[in-house]
Structure 1
Amino acid sequence: MKSISTKVFGPSGSVRRPILFLVIALILSGIVAPSFLTSRNINALLVSSSFLVVITIGEALVIMTGMIDLGVESILASGGMLVAFLTVMQHLSAGVAIPFTLVSGLFVGLVVGLLVTKGRIPSFIVTLGTYWGLKGIALLFNGGNYISPNSGEFSFSGLSGTFLGMPTLVVLMVVLVAVAQLLFSYTPAGTWIRAVGSNEMSAKTVGLNIDAMKIGMFMISGLLAAFAGILIASWQGSMYPTTGAGYSLQAIAAVILGGIPFTGGRGSIVGAAIGALIIGLINDIIVLVGLPSLYEYIFVAIILVIAGLQARAARGAVVK
């Protein structure tokens, strides 16, 4: 028989779980801070959360195959510094700087994927190295200083503008989540990703190229992290080498809140994106009620424990 947890939250990996968490968080936030539910604040929340959502998509795909990527925040920071460096200091157009930055993110993902698959090094160790290495590269671009246009705005600042009356950042976020979810749900690639995370040996037996799948997921994660760096530079109007600090762990937390287990094999991109919005919501409500920012970590920890407990209960019900 199904447990109460499964009846309420749905099976492990169901998008119903993060949706319920989000609804509960919205209700509590509206009670604690009535100004939270204003259209202006919701709009600001979606914009500020868009960067985390973008990198969470890539993190979700990596974790879905049973791996982890700790380097996304450093790819974001170095990517943002790179595009700023190319446009401000090298005077390259956005049409050249942005593709170059995106390709650099792909390249980092390729190197990480090769080290994990061909070098047989655990993804935790490789991406921890990526985290520290690219953090250093971000600091090297301008001697540890931020980069800002000498006058006016970045040549790619239009990314932080509006599109059909909506913030472009929010539009891009929604499009990326929708496309990723459609590809994950309705293409063979999505089935292959779930198969690798569910049972790697069985996936290999039926002829799937496991190494290619893993490399591909790291490349997508690197691409999206670099893209998030471009977006956040556009939004801030400047880029700091320490921008995005904490995003790697927040993205992993978002994936877990979204219902994707560390073992991979099940879950959804939409669920992971909602998990990222929940983390953004927690940060927003802390600011609105005037609490120190350190409380964000405490509240995220509590929610993660709750998510872990209900997921554990669901697994226990399946075993029985």
Structure 2
Amino acid sequence: MSINQQLFGEPGSVKRPIVFLIIALIISTLIAPSFLSGRNIDALLVSSSFLIVLTVGESLVIMTGMIDLGVQSIMASAGMFVAFLTVLHGFPAITALPLTIIAGAVVGWIVGLLVTKGRIPSFIVTLGTYWGLKGVALLFNGGNYISPNNGLFNFSSLANNTLGISNLLLITFFIIIIGQIMLSATPLGIWLKSLGSNEAAAKTVGLRIDSLKILVFIISGILAALAGIMIAAWQGSIYPTTGSGYSLQAIAAVILGGIPFSGGRGSVIGAAIGALIIGLIDDLIVLLGLPSLYEYIFVAVILVIAGFQARSRGVVK
């Protein structure tokens, strides 16, 4: 066993992102002593929850060897849509929330059909989703943000606490647990990994390749819509440009979490830890009073480092 494997574990092991997280925590504590305060840790976890939820969906797509560049725009347009329904048209939350989740699922379904039946690479289709839904988000209120008059959406309770723990964190933990169980303890998880490892072999043994691809895009769309609802509840308002940069951050988090672009191995927990590390970088930049541009530099450096430990052969389908 090589030194790299002894330190980081086997490729795709959750041990790798955990090591990165520990190193990041140590460095953050040394250069910003206030980092470990309870208030800051709570704020870090809550503010990272939206990216983590996006990353769980992205991890399943990349696990199959594809990519979803549109999650950021789905999130923003979903947030605008649920605000559009509840604030501008008076829909109750019990109706608006399911409609928004369904809308995310429909977008994912259409993307999946274009990739599978249209034989268009996922990169191209989801790049179109990214730009198209940015326009849709702008259309919901003429390019302006939406905020209720009293400062609270009728679904703002999603951002409240239960037993001292933010509901946003409870939702995020639930999504991570369900995603990891699905990936590691169900036939579906085995099928997704098989698809990413060797699509031709997966087809040979009778797996329904197209159905699996459509399914992961539907899940990604649902989770992106959920993230949009969550961030709207947390902010008390929603902007058409909400979550700028989240698509690339989610992809970076997946790679940092040990899932290679070719797919086939890795874990949802590892990807979620990768998202938390990126959230940690954002938090550290704020604590140090640095310009936000440093975020891009730090994420780029960490992503390159992560690329060395997650490298593998393959291309995005």
TM-score in terms of structure 2 length? 0.97
Q: Are residues 1:136 and 2:132 paired?
A: no
Q: Which moved more, 1:112-121 or 1:167-176?
A: 167-176
Query: Which AA in structure 2 matches 1:280?
Result: G
For 1:270 and 1:276, the matched residues in 2 are separated by: 10
1:99-248 aligned within 5 A: 99-248=98-247
Task: Tell me how far 1:164 sits from its aligned partner.
Answer: 1.6
For 1:273 and 1:306, the matched residues in 2 are separated by: 18
Gaps of 5+ in 2: none
Q: Are residues 1:273 and 2:272 paired?
A: yes
Q: Partner residue of 2:14? A: 15
For 2:151 and 2:131, the matched residues in 1 are separated by: 32
Q: Could you list the per-position Cα deviations for residues 99-121 of structure 1 after superposition, in whole angstroms to 9, with x for gaps in the alignment? A: 00000000000000000000000
* Percent pairwise identity: 69
Q: Partner residue of 2:294? A: 295
Secondary structure, in 3 states, of the residue corresponding to 1:184?
Answer: helix
For 2:167 and 2:219, the matched residues in 1 are separated by: 21
For 2:44 and 2:34, the matched residues in 1 are separated by: 12
For 1:20 and 1:56, the matched residues in 2 are separated by: 19
Q: Partner residue of 1:88? A: 87
Structure 1 consecutive aligned stretches of length 4 or more whose deviation exceeds 3 Å = none
Task: Give RMSD over aligned pairs.
Answer: 0.9
Q: Partner residue of 1:70? A: 69
For 1:115 and 1:12, the matched residues in 2 are separated by: 31
Task: Tell me how far 1:311 sits from its aligned partner.
Answer: 3.3
Query: Which AA in structure 2 matches 1:298?
Result: I
For 2:129 and 2:39, the matched residues in 1 are separated by: 37
Task: Tell me how far 1:147 sits from its aligned partner.
Answer: 0.2
Q: Could you list the per-position Cα deviations for residues 225-265 of structure 1 after superposition, in whole angstroms to 9, with x for gaps in the alignment? A: 00000000000000000001100000000000000000000
Query: Which AA in structure 2 matches 1:245?
Result: S
Query: Which AA in structure 2 matches 1:267?
Result: G
For 2:93 and 2:310, the matched residues in 1 are separated by: 45
Gaps of 5+ in 1: none
Secondary structure, in 3 states, of the residue corresponding to 1:208?
Answer: coil
TM-score in terms of structure 1 length? 0.97
How many pairs were matched up? 313
